[in-house]
Amino acid sequence: MKIGVFVCLCGSNIAATVDTERVAEIARSYPDVVFSKAEMYACSEPGQEAIREAIVEKGLEGVVVASCSPRMHETTFRRAVERAGVNRYMFEMANIREHVSWVSLDREVNTRKAAELVRAAVEKLRLNRHLTPSKFEINKRVMVIGGGVAGIQAALDMADGGLKVVMVEREPSVGGKMAKLDKTFPTVDCSACILGPKMVDLAQHPNITLHAFSEIEDVAGYVGNFAVTVRRKTPYVDWERCTGCGLCMEKCPSRKSPDVFNEGLKPTTSINIPFPQAIPKKATINPDTCIMLTKGKCGSCAKICPTGAVDFEKQDELVTEEVGAIIAATGYDVFDHAKYEEYGGGRIPDVITSMQYERMLNASGPTSGHVKRPSDGKEPKKVVFVQCVGSRDPSKGRPYCSGFCCMYTAKQAILTKDHIPDAEVYTFYIDVRAPSKMYEEFYNRARDEYGVRYLRGRPSRIYQDGDKVVVRSVDTLLQAQVEVEADLVVLAVGGEHSRGASELAEKLRISADQNGFFMESHPKLRPVETNTAGVFLAGACQGLKDIPTAVAQGTAAAAKALVLLSRDMLEADPQVARVNQSRCIGCAKCVGVCPFQAIRMGKDRWGNPKAEVVETMCQGCGVCNVACMDKAIQLDHFTDDQILAEVNALCREWT
């Protein structure tokens, strides 16, 4: 084999701490290397052109590029090699940037290490085989998990683009957090007025199927051909028949169910439609509080229902949806302020969360849009907002900035002044972060036009004193202790990963970051893709973000799914397991360990049992490879011989 080696300087990224010329020179002494060269930017157009030229001129049959991580540019270089007529799998990369030049400043040591890594790549390449991808058909349906604004946007974009979309939402209605909001910053337009029409479009779109009140049970398959089992939880109401008239709610005698939609500010009936604009507008029974389901008597709702939809016997249903791609848009949860003992830990009635306040401001909320103290229903004249509750606080395990609280606090402060013009409004803050379009201006309006008083400091204690709530803090600008006696305190709670996110990640075979948010494939260049082909991310499940960004990501994820499914056939990665029939003794150990059911037992022409790999199902993990005692099944591109060739190369004494 004739091998060419290209050592990238990456400007000064590699060249500053690795003698790339020297590495190229040493590489010339390696077996089968007929050509070697240092290159300023191997991935650039001239860099790729140099590789192409060398392949043609020197008749290279394999190429090693020593540069950055293969996770960054393997595909780039494989394509370059292929353009010059060499099989794209006759290519190896040595990672001399992330693993060498960027972790040490010792030029001598780095140069040697780089040369060794190049040798390992060369030795592996010598054993590479030409691989050709096979093609398989793909299913042009997409599943969106989570019906917040990000998921809704993604679903609508894809449906308009001609794809069939299945949406799975855990709650009885779509809309997510945005459906609960009163107004939205920085335009202060009514949240329901901009989200409502989208929710209706979703419900009426001929290309969209909605499974509300449903959860993901299991995800099988792979890009292009996922089979997702969805559990449709029972609402104890036949939704086919329910017309959403609401008569049942009027008749229900049990009025002690926690009202999740209204953030528990007021109880609700056991059978209920979460809010007037709910999509789907269907009733759901809370089995924990329903008298019929807990005590076996009542049934008022069943008697009044004009369509006979109430069905106390109804069970969960499992349905399997076959889709080609999946978008996760499961959003976030708000931080539980009870974790702040020093702020009353949820015990002081007039200390509420921002989300509760949002419901209170809302005309269709529990107080019909009147700002009232929960303790006595009086209108507060002094309202204090406390920012960063559950944000930027490593002691509570929330080291990150939640990103939207500064802005929604400014919004809520402005709205407070709109509702109660003579109110005094204070905001305790650490920094005000307002980096998007019109955000800084909006914050300035809150301060200058509406006279909201911003005090810099994180309050140390909040306590009840008579009918007042005292917020004690240090004002870090005045360097003085301050105490504000408030009628109402609103805690600007931050966000955290949504409950159940890690179980879902496991089912989707995607990763979560250290804070529990789903991890994108690349933080800058692949923000809505995951490392699992065919699974995309949208909205706050990937990291906290406001509505404009969540919507942008919804559209981006939709575009990625459209790109993927615009093809009729997908190429299967040919780096799959292969069986050497003459070695296979038919023990079926590999069949048992394969996580993808990609191996089955067949027979050779004499009728002996032999393992067979279903190429399109094999994901290339190599578990079978290790289970096989006879080394009859080998993962292409990562065969035992190839890995051992690398081991041997790295074990050589340095000369």
Ligand X SMILES: Cc1cc2nc3c(=O)[nH]c(=O)nc-3n(C[C@H](O)[C@H](O)[C@H](O)COP(=O)(O)OP(=O)(O)OC[C@H]3O[C@@H](n4cnc5c(N)ncnc54)[C@H](O)[C@@H]3O)c2cc1C
As a dihedral over the C-alpha atoms of residue 428, residue 431, residue 437, residue 443, rounded to 10 degrees, the angle is 30
Least CB distance from residue 182 to ligand X, whole Å? 8
User: What token pair was written down for 509?
Assistant: 């075979």
Taking CB under 8 A as the criterion, the residue among 11, 49, 109, 614 binding other proteins is: 109
C-beta of 420 vs 533, nearer to other proteins = 533
Determine, following the binding rule CB under 8 A, whether residue 189 of this chain makes contact with other proteins. Answer: no
Task: Select the binding partner of residue 185 from ligand X, other proteins, none (C-beta < 5 to 8 A, by kind).
Answer: ligand X
Residues lying near ligand X in the complex (CB under 6 A) are found at 145-151, 168-171, 176-178, 181, 184-185, 215-216, 329-332, 334, 354-355, 358, 404, 408, 411, 498, 500, 504, 539-540, 545-548, 550
Half-sphere exposure of 439 (CA within 13 A, CB side): 15
Report phi then psi at 599, rounded to 5.
-120, 135
Q: Is 383 helix (H, G, I), strand (E, B) or coil?
A: strand
Least CB distance from residue 559 to other proteins, whole Å? 24
Distance CA 70, CA 65 (A): 10
C-beta of 185 vs 239, nearer to ligand X = 185
Taking each helix axis from N to C terminus, what angle separates 20-27 and 107-125, rounded to the nearest 10 degrees? 40
Taking CB under 8 A as the criterion, the residue among 78, 88, 97, 180 binding other proteins is: 97
C-beta of 306 vs 595, nearer to other proteins = 595
Task: Select the binding partner of residue 177 from ligand X, other proteins, none (C-beta < 5 to 8 A, by kind).
Answer: ligand X
Show the binding pattern over residues 569-608: x = contacts other proteins (CB under 8 A), - = does not. Answer: ------x-----------------x-xx------------
C-beta of 21 vs 546, nearer to ligand X = 546
Least CB distance from residue 596 to other proteins, whole Å? 8
Distance CA 261, CA 246 (A): 16
Angstrom CA distances, 517 to 167, 214, 403, 553, stand at 21, 21, 14, 15
Determine, following the binding rule CB under 8 A, whether residue 622 of this chain makes contact with other proteins. Answer: yes
Least CB distance from residue 487 to ligand X, whole Å? 20
Report phi then psi at 317, rounded to 5.
-125, 145
C-beta of 140 vs 545, nearer to ligand X = 545
Size of the site for other proteins (CB under 8 A): 55
Least CB distance from residue 157 to ligand X, whole Å? 14
Determine, following the binding rule CB under 8 A, whether residue 99 of this chain makes contact with other proteins. Answer: yes
List CB contacts of 563: < 8 A, sequence separation 6 or more.
none
Distance CA 368, CA 362 (A): 7
How many helices (H) and strands (E) the chain has is answered by 17, 34
The DSSP secondary structure of 453-485, one letter per residue, reads: EEEES--SEEEEETTEEEEEEEETTTTEEEEEE
Report phi then psi at 158, rounded to 5.
-70, -40
Taking each helix axis from N to C terminus, what angle separates 354-361 and 405-419, rounded to the nearest 10 degrees? 40
Least CB distance from residue 504 to ligand X, whole Å? 5
Determine, following the binding rule CB under 8 A, whether residue 257 of this chain makes contact with other proteins. Answer: no
Distance CA 350, CA 493 (A): 15
Taking CB under 8 A as the criterion, the residue among 29, 75, 104, 364 binding other proteins is: 104
Q: Point out which residues bind other proteins (CB under 8 A).
A: 69-72, 95, 97-100, 102-106, 109-110, 113, 116-117, 120, 502, 505-506, 509, 511-514, 519, 531-532, 575, 593, 595-596, 619-623, 625-627, 635, 638, 640, 643-644, 646-648, 650-653
